[in-house]
């Protein structure tokens, strides 16, 4: 009988004398059903160029390499990189990039080619990674990422709900976003302290929202959410917003993206 992903993971750590590094968000996925769910959510096929963020021990990478045409695996931990090179030595469609994802230029890796992203993300840098993906010069067709459950809920939240805020607007401004499934702590080794969710992001191919001044739009939105329980006119008092035609006694958390765009369109500092 083949060993389970959990057994392979534990054995690799033991043989190479390694402990997972909490500081680097090392919680290895050991549930084969979740791995398959991720592959299906990305609709991965033998035509696909795939960038994997945080490839870890390479156990998940092995499954990705079987399903994709080519995999570029990015991992900051040099020891894990060595282990994954070892276990993937028979695959000729995997290349490794041993560096910080936040210092990696996706464009240089994919050079204008069509590509997808999969990543069981290091949770301590989820927001900057999502920002990097959604603002990339070459955006992926789809990114299927494992994030903390709370963060996933914020990404998909709609106006008027508790979790709705600047991260919801940021994400939905650039992409269609969906929670594919929730994942229990027992699907990882070691167990994380928080629940997880698989999120599918499909960046808009052409901008979905027309905004005259994107920086001003995000500045206003962030300023408003600094005081999410106050009436709009309070956190935004430095802008002249009368022409927006919106009720400025409303709370920021009730405004749709379109309404924030209206505010930004009318804003006169």
| Known binding-site residue numbers for S-adenosyl-L-methionine | 27, 29, 54, 75, 100, 120
Least CB distance from residue 128 to ligand SAM, whole Å? 9
Q: Decide whether 70 or 132 has the Cβ nearer to ligand SAM.
A: 132
Least CB distance from residue 188 to ligand SAM, whole Å? 7
Least CB distance from residue 166 to ligand SAM, whole Å? 23
Cβ proximity of 184 and 169 under 8 Å: no
Cα 7 vs. chain centroid, distance in angstroms? Answer: 28
CA angle (30, 35, 37) in 5-degree steps:
140
Beta bridge partners of 145: 119, 199
Beta bridge partners of 59: none
Q: Decide whether 28 or 225 has the Cβ nearer to ligand SAM.
A: 28
Least CB distance from residue 126 to ligand SAM, whole Å? 10
Cβ proximity of 49 and 113 under 8 Å: yes
Residue number, nearest CB to ligand SAM = 54
Q: Decide whether 38 or 220 has the Cβ nearer to ligand SAM.
A: 38
Closest CA to 11 of 189, 251, 241, 202: 189
Q: Decide whether 76 or 241 has the Cβ nearer to ligand SAM.
A: 76
Beta bridge partners of 177: 201
Residues that bind ligand SAM (CB under 6 A): 24-29, 54-56, 59-60, 74-77, 80, 100-102, 120, 122, 125
Least CB distance from residue 21 to ligand SAM, whole Å? 7
Structure tokens at 195: 């629940």
Q: In a 3-state reduction of DSSP, which class is residue 18?
A: coil
Closest CA to 110 of 95, 92, 128, 88: 95
Least CB distance from residue 60 to ligand SAM, whole Å? 4
Q: Decide whether 55 or 171 has the Cβ nearer to ligand SAM.
A: 55
Annotated binding site: which residue ranges? 27, 29, 54, 75, 100, 120
Cβ neighbours of residue 14 closer than 8 Å, sequence gap 6 or more: none
Q: How far apart are CA 57 and CA 209, in angstroms?
A: 40
Q: Decide whether 125 or 177 has the Cβ nearer to ligand SAM.
A: 125
């Amino acid at each position: 009988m083949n060993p389970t992903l959990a057994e392979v993971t534990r054995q690799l750590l033991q043989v190479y004398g390694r402990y997972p590094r909490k500081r680097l968000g090392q919680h290895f996925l050991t549930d084969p059903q979740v791995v398959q769910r991720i592959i299906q959510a990305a609709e991965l096929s033998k035509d696909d160029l795939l960038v994997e963020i945080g490839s870890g021990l390479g156990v998940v990478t092995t499954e990705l390499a079987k399903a994709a045409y080519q995999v570029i695996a990015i991992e900051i931990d040099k020891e894990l990189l060595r282990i994954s090179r070892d276990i993937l030595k028979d695959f000729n469609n995997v290349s490794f990039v041993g560096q910080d994802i936040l210092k990696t230029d996706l464009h240089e890796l994919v050079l204008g080619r069509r590509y997808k992203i999969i990543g069981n993300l290091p949770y301590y840098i989820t927001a900057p990674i999502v920002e990097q993906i959604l603002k990339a010069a070459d955006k992926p067709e789809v990114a299927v990422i494992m994030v903390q459950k709370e963060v996933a809920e914020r990404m998909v939240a709609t106006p008027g709900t508790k979790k709705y805020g600047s991260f919801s607007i940021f994400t939905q401004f650039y992409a269609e976003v969906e929670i594919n499934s929730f994942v229990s702590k027992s699907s990882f080794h070691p167990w994380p302290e928080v629940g997880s969710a698989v999120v599918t992001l499909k960046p808009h191919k052409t901008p979905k929202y027309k905004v005259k001044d994107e920086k001003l739009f995000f500045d206003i939105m962030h300023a408003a959410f600094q005081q999410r329980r106050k009436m709009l006119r309070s956190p935004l008092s430095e802008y002249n917003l009368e022409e927006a035609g919106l009720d400025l006694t409303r709370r920021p958390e009730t405004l749709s993206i379109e309404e924030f765009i209206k505010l930004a369109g009318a804003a006169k500092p």
